[in-house]
Structure 1
Amino acid sequence: MKETIQKLNERVASLEDSLNKAAIPIIPSIVPSTILIPFAGELTPERFQMVIPKILDYASKDDIDTAVIDFTAISVKEVGDLAILGTYIEQLNSSLNLMGVQVIAVGFSPEFSRELVQSGLGIIKELKAFANFRAALQYLLKKKGLEIALVK
């Protein structure tokens, strides 16, 4: 019986690990050396502790100079404690900056933006933010001297 419970616990832990890894994908962008990281679901300290090393490893293995973090799928109720969120965003931002990667945040809803500003978190003033991914891409294309041409 103990062996069966142990095997089930190991299986649950393995499935949870797989789910967590799949929950926050790292997507290469059409803009060279840029990745998109779309956050979705509840943002807990455990998820950040798992995802920050994943993002840093990815950025170090590829020639990445920009990370666009997308909060479009996040609402205030999924954040929990804003101070904890701010701490982890600040850690991610600082770590990526030390690696030469610029962080751009996108997708803050009006309610989420208001709550973040009212929280007084220092990271808010440091983040380069855009309303959506399209606006961030337009900024990056211009910054990198690129443009998208329509092919007829």
Structure 2
Amino acid sequence: MKEELKYIGNRIIEFRHELTLEIENYEQESYVSSINQSDLTREQIREWRSYFFQLLGESLFENYEEVKEKVTNWANEIGEKAVDKGIPLNETIATMGYYRTLIWKTFDKELQENQFAAITVLDVNKFINPLLDQVIFQFSQIYIRHNNEAYEKAQDKLTQLSVPVVPIADRVAVLPVIGELDPERAQLIMEKSLEKSSKYQLQYLLIDISGVPEIDATLAHFLFQVSHSLELVGVDTTLTGIRPEIARSVVERGVDFTQVKTRANLKQALNEIGISVEKA
């Protein structure tokens, strides 16, 4: 049994270059297009594939755990390169099935003549299939991690856009709030206001709500919390941009804004702290 496995393993290694070239006959057009659009060369890809065929061959007669570790390292390296070059996950994984197909194609004659015992075929699959599965798993993990990182970066950019604390003078910044405020965004404004105030060492923060469509008691309470929190860290906070219709609605609802410093508009608030809008 061991001799048959070693024979098969050595044959795979011996014909690894031919097998590598033959994989290209199975490649889908979309995969070829992805490769062509990257700066990967065919020589690089053939070298990587040839080495993987060698590892698959070695798995049949060398120390299996050591070979498995090499396969994992190979998968991590190739997976990272595929992600970096923008090759889709499904196309990268699809190539894994070709290895198994081509390995057995190499032994068509032996199989047709029943030169291998059925148990030998099962044993070969028992060694090779888990390695192919391991590669697919590693590829998947790499793509998942990459997608998570991309999502987090996108969320961070969205956060910066949704809570834009904009410095306009030394120790003075404006935070324009636009659109409706839900609890999650309100909490985000609280956190980012404190974070940016510390980063820019602010003395004044002007929160402009002219772009907020409606103010209720919950939002008023939130604005008071933001103002109070900033005051605790030494930041003078002024609320600007309460439109006439919003002011009327606030009064009708009995919302108390006496705990928050307010001004009609940014120009008025800036003039009060010594910044002339006309000269800016």
- Using the size of structure 1 for normalisation, the TM-score is 0.76
Task: Work out the CA distance in 1 between the residues paired with 2:212 and 2:226.
Answer: 17
Deviations 1:18-76 (A, max 9, x none): 3233112001123x311100001111111011121111011123321111000111222
Residue of structure 2 equivalent to 1:105: 239
Contact 1:83–1:121 (CA<8 Å) still a contact in 2? yes
Task: Work out the CA distance in 2 between the residues paired with 1:72 and 1:86.
Answer: 14
Q: Which of the numbers 188, 203, 206 marks the counterpart of 1:50?
A: 188
Residue 117 of structure 1 aligns to a residue whose secondary structure is helix
Which amino acid in the other structure matches residue 112 of structure 1? Answer: I
Q: Percent identity at matched positions? A: 28
Which amino acid in the other structure matches residue 54 of structure 1? Answer: K
Residue 177 of structure 2 aligns to a residue whose secondary structure is strand
Residue 70 of structure 1 aligns to a residue whose secondary structure is strand
Change (3 A) 1:73 1:147: closer
Q: Give the total of aligned pairs.
A: 138
Task: Work out the CA distance in 1 between the residues paired with 2:277 and 2:151.
Answer: 45
User: Residue 128 of structure 1: CA displacement?
Assistant: 1.9
Residue 100 of structure 1 aligns to a residue whose secondary structure is coil
Residue of structure 2 equivalent to 1:21: 160
Change (3 A) 1:87 1:14: farther
Name structure 2 gaps, 5 residues minimum.
1-89, 91-139
Q: Does 1:129 pair with 2:257?
A: no
Which amino acid in the other structure matches residue 51 of structure 1? Answer: I
Contact 2:210–2:240 (CA<8 Å) still a contact in 1? yes
Larger relative strand fraction: 1
- Using the size of structure 2 for normalisation, the TM-score is 0.43
Q: Does 1:70 pair with 2:218?
A: no
Residue 53 of structure 1 aligns to a residue whose secondary structure is helix
Residue of structure 1 equivalent to 2:95: none
Change (3 A) 1:149 1:13: closer
Residue of structure 2 equivalent to 1:140: 273
Q: Does 1:92 pair with 2:230?
A: no
Larger relative helix fraction: 2
State which structure, 1 or 2, has the greater radius of gyration over its C-alpha atoms. 2
Which amino acid in the other structure matches residue 251 of structure 2? Answer: V
User: Residue 17 of structure 1: CA displacement?
Assistant: 4.7
Change (3 A) 1:63 1:15: closer
Change (3 A) 1:117 1:14: farther
Task: Work out the CA distance in 1 between the residues paired with 2:241 and 2:276.
Answer: 22
